Amino acid sequence: MPKGAELPISTMIILILGILVVIALLAMFMGVWKPASSGTNLQTVTALTCNRFVAAGCGDPSTFKLQENVVCGTNNLVAGTDTLLNLCEKCYGIKDDKNKCKTDICKCP
């Protein structure tokens, strides 16, 4: 091998970093890695909240607090502050009807 034909270390480091960036971009576009979001999916929050609500005996949805933040339309519901009834009203259009919230959204008997 002629003298000076080897790659300098700085060039190898730049190549490795470039390859890592390309891999990260591919992973992001293929859905393997996703940036964190400020809220959780509405269907996921509804399912989790209803599962806990049913397990707790399907009580009063106006006092049952959400444990996850969720965004639906222009409404931001906050964990620990908003309730299952708020979720029914703001995300599903059920206004001041606790029983409909319990039966239609959470499938309580």
User: Where along the chain do its domains lie?
Assistant: 1-35, 42-105
**What is the spatial distance between Cα 47 and Cα 36, in angstroms, rounded to a whole number?**
20
Q: Half-sphere exposure of 73 toward its Cβ, with a 13 Å CA cutoff?
A: 7
pTM of the model: 0.62
**What pLDDT does residue 28 have?**
76
Beta bridge partners of 70: 40, 77
Q: What is the pLDDT of residues 18-47, one digit of tens each?
A: 999 999 888 777 766 555 555 568 888 999
- For range 80-85, the mean pLDDT: 93
Instruction: Indicate if the pLDDT at residue 65 is higher than 90.
Output: yes
Q: What is the largest CA-CA distance in the chain?
A: 84
